[in-house]
Structure 1
Amino acid sequence: MSDFYKPSIEQIDLIIIGSGPAGLSTALHLLKEDQSLKERLIILEKDSHPRQKLCGGGITRYGLWTLKSLNIPYPLPIPFAVVEDIQIHYRNQTLRLSGDPLFHVFNRVEFDSYLLSVVKERGIKVRENEKVLEISYKPEGVIVKTEKNTYLAKIIVGADGSKGITRRLLTKRSKHNYVARVLELKYPSEEKSPLFLEKQAHFDFTPVTRHLQGYIWSFPSWVDGKPMLNLGIYDARVNKKGKKPNLLPLLEGYLTSLGFDMSHINIMGHPIHGFHPLNHFAAQRTILVGDAAGADTLFGEGIAPALGYGETAAQAIMHALKSNDFSFKNYRLQLLRSKVGRYLMLRWLGAAVSYRFSEFPLYMHALLAVGNLLAHFWHPGALDNVNRTDTKKIERIHHNHQMRT
């Protein structure tokens, strides 16, 4: 074929594949390091925002800190529920943790759309409805073929989640893949319900007696300006030799026993790729972030670690661009030493131990007893402007959102 008929190739320094929290955080952290990168990177998204995304929606204090470090205003101008009281249950025992806030619960659709708007306002190019079809490697860079274009990039960032093409590319031979299972639903509620009034979230680990390696959760949340209960079940599957429970009847039976009418409720499921220190995090000219690299295995927390991955990835990318070394051979060590790496390592160790012994009542009773003892001495520090919830400001956000919808 003559050169006249060959498709043109767009050359770019960096391509971020995926516009969820991990990809957007990586872009924002890169801009924080070097403003000129807004002209040298693009984000590719297979869908268009707002897009449906299954997620519990909780953002812990670590995630709120990360947003604050990116100069994103607080509170975010989208509806969210505040959680100041966490109750962890096992049979007749309860462990309570308090803080202001412990975490916020967002509608993931609205959160991603808002974060994307921040990225666009800061001048980063985002190309939506452009699915990546093929990735190949050449001495001069990475060829990325999409439904619309062909690119040659110095570096690609895999931020396309648990089922994305970049994760499959790097982890297909991995022996350490943890794939957790999640089912979730939204249930109509009222602002006067206890979860909203008391700003509570519940984690019930009682189903570990039925081989679940996880818990059933209930959070307050706002969806399209309406109060909803965010309910679901998480199964970590870190103990691969353990029996695999059927999640749907387990969740339905649990909620029915609490008085929920499940006859017209849509329950949806999705996998979560879990963190392991021996996961494949990088290859030549390629690094993974967010769920593609691995989410928290203990609780299945995804958003806060995803935001944290962005900081570490940006540092590694800046070093690669300055040194012209695109091997990312030190990315694993850099990641494990970072804030997000330490955060995920602690959760991974907790999951590796707890979910191997969680079927033993003596272990669970002892764990909650120790937890209650430690809770008396645990007082989360202030988050500066994030530590106190401005109730009137949040009420205005909800009112303005309802007026728009």
Structure 2
Amino acid sequence: MVNMYDVIVIGAGPSGSMAAYVAAKLGLRVLILDRFRFPRIKPCGGGLTQKSVALLKGLGIELNSVVRDTCKRVIIVNNAGSFLLMDNDPIISIVSRDEFDNYLLSSALEMGADYLVDRIVGVDVHGEYVNAIGMNDTYVSKYVIAADGANSVIARQLGNDIRRGTAMAFMTIAHGNYLNDVCVIDMTRIKWGYSWVFPRGDGEYDVGIGSIRWGDYRTQLIKYVSDVGLREGEVRGHPIPIKARDRIVSKRIALVGDAAGLADPTTGEGIFYAMYSGALAALTLRHSSSPVEFASNYLGIIKPLIKNLSLAYYLSLGTYGIDHLVMGRLGISAFSISSTRNLIKRIMSGSAWYYQVPMSMIKFSVLKGPQVILKGILHG
């Protein structure tokens, strides 16, 4: 007799584990399939924003055991200078992705989800069920939540061009002695992106570089690590999908996280959007009575997030282009005014959305920018 699940989750990263956790918590029979046995290595900056921590806490998942270090101060560097973000609570909490992802998967298993290791090569949708076709076996469920990452097999099968709108980042775990209680984001090391240094404790630092333009930035990363006085480890690259897929849902299949193209083009943050979309897909599934209703409900609930990230893409062009490359060379930046810095903190905490950002930058550019330029001319 075929073992029929309510939902199969393909991929056990943050989006998949969160979808499985929520679905199991809501009483659904869940199978997680991933090609790797966890824990496994995952190249990533490993920085959790306040909204990521809040989301997990709201779902009953505490992170204290897997947080390596925290930053209550974040230094942002661009052509206009250095700007400091500060908060009483950690702005960024740093995790090691092998530990963090395994912890989320374990949380889903504790909630009652099943987990098997298999490489899924496609899905076959029938009238009343879906076959998830693996290298080892075929698995049957009523629905599939595809969380199989930036190179998603399922996204491609739905007709998406998975290379469209993809950024690229490289990272390494470096060793040495640098700033231990501060996270650094430096836009001067690469065009249309930034480099970062996140402390992990015990002399370890997650150091990386990424851009919204696809490219091989290994050489720039190795130089950056050397310039800040650290020793690089193994360099790993990873794509970051920064534009939503054209098709993210069918009657019995939903894409979440990187598979759906849900990463922040301005910050490169993907973990929050992965977990959030995974939770939304599971919640939608539990409260939908038919495949048509599921597809409609998921699309309706995910659209505001897609619109927000679409706006973030255009904002990234302003942040890395106009503000950094143009105004920054004149010694001017929107980061110099407190309202912009506070807005960034609010976005990272989840208390504000991107539609509020452009007005802050526009006001600065139009009202403050000419005044600063004129003052510089008059005073030599």
Fold shared per TM-score above 0.5: yes
Offset at 1:331?
Answer: 2.8
Q: Deviations over 1:272-315 (max 9, x none)?
A: 11233x63221231111111112111121111111111232123
Q: Which residue of 2 aligns with 1:182?
A: 169
Matches within 5 A, 1:4-403: 9-32=2-25, 34=26, 36-37=27-28, 40-73=29-62, 75-91=63-79, 93-99=81-87, 100-127=89-116, 129-173=117-161, 177-190=164-177, 193-194=178-179, 196=180, 199-208=181-190, 212-222=191-201, 226-237=202-213, 246-261=216-231, 265-276=233-244, 279-294=246-261, 295-320=263-288, 322-325=289-292, 328-337=295-304, 340-341=305-306, 344-357=309-322, 360-362=325-327, 368-374=333-339
Q: Secondary structure at the match of 1:350?
A: helix
Once residues 375 and 132 of structure 1 are traced to their aligned partners in structure 2, the CA distance between those partners, rounded to angstroms, is 44
Q: Secondary structure at the match of 1:148?
A: coil
Q: Which residue of 2 aligns with 1:241?
A: none
Once residues 151 and 359 of structure 1 are traced to their aligned partners in structure 2, the CA distance between those partners, rounded to angstroms, is 50
Cα distance change on mapping 1:349 and 1:361 into 2, 3 Å: closer
Q: Secondary structure at the match of 1:56?
A: coil
Offset at 1:57?
Answer: 0.5
Offset at 1:11?
Answer: 2.3
Identical counterparts, % of pairs: 27
Offset at 1:23?
Answer: 0.8
**Quick check: 1:220–1:230 contact (8 Å CA) kept in 2?**
yes
**Quick check: 1:97–1:375 contact (8 Å CA) kept in 2?**
no
- Mind listing any 5+ residue stretches in structure 2 that lack a counterpart? 350-380
**Quick check: 1:161–1:167 contact (8 Å CA) kept in 2?**
no
Offset at 1:161?
Answer: 0.4
Once residues 120 and 325 of structure 2 are traced to their aligned partners in structure 1, the CA distance between those partners, rounded to angstroms, is 46
Q: Secondary structure at the match of 2:124?
A: strand
| TM-score (structure 2 length as normaliser) | 0.82
Once residues 189 and 341 of structure 2 are traced to their aligned partners in structure 1, the CA distance between those partners, rounded to angstroms, is 26
Once residues 3 and 342 of structure 2 are traced to their aligned partners in structure 1, the CA distance between those partners, rounded to angstroms, is 57
- Code of the aligned partner of 1:203: I
| TM-score (structure 1 length as normaliser) | 0.77
Q: Secondary structure at the match of 1:139?
A: coil
Once residues 379 and 146 of structure 1 are traced to their aligned partners in structure 2, the CA distance between those partners, rounded to angstroms, is 43
Q: Which residue of 2 aligns with 1:402?
A: none
- Mind listing any 5+ residue stretches in structure 1 that lack a counterpart? 1-7, 238-243, 385-405
Once residues 376 and 323 of structure 1 are traced to their aligned partners in structure 2, the CA distance between those partners, rounded to angstroms, is 45
**Quick check: 1:28–1:70 contact (8 Å CA) kept in 2?**
no
- Code of the aligned partner of 1:253: K
Once residues 126 and 365 of structure 1 are traced to their aligned partners in structure 2, the CA distance between those partners, rounded to angstroms, is 55
- Code of the aligned partner of 1:292: A
**Quick check: 1:336–1:345 contact (8 Å CA) kept in 2?**
no
Q: Secondary structure at the match of 1:328?
A: helix
Offset at 1:114?
Answer: 1.3
Cα distance change on mapping 1:134 and 1:95 into 2, 3 Å: same
Offset at 1:149?
Answer: 2.2
Q: Secondary structure at the match of 1:360?
A: helix
Q: Deviations over 1:138-189 (max 9, x none)?
A: 2232221113321232210111100121122224357x93111111001113
Cα distance change on mapping 1:79 and 1:316 into 2, 3 Å: closer
Once residues 155 and 329 of structure 2 are traced to their aligned partners in structure 1, the CA distance between those partners, rounded to angstroms, is 34
- Code of the aligned partner of 1:20: G
**Quick check: 1:95–1:368 contact (8 Å CA) kept in 2?**
no
**Quick check: 2:73–2:85 contact (8 Å CA) kept in 1?**
yes
Once residues 249 and 143 of structure 2 are traced to their aligned partners in structure 1, the CA distance between those partners, rounded to angstroms, is 11
Q: Deviations over 1:331-380 (max 9, x none)?
A: 3332123xx55653453332244345467332676773455332575696
Moved more, 325-334 or 80-89: 325-334
RMSD, matched Cα: 2.8
Once residues 39 and 324 of structure 2 are traced to their aligned partners in structure 1, the CA distance between those partners, rounded to angstroms, is 41
Cα distance change on mapping 1:184 and 1:13 into 2, 3 Å: same
Q: Give the number of the structure with larger relative contact order, counting CA–CA contacts within 8 Å between residues 6 or more apart.
A: 1
Name the count of aligned residue pairs: 346
Q: Which residue of 1 aligns with 2:368?
A: none
Cα distance change on mapping 1:379 and 1:288 into 2, 3 Å: closer
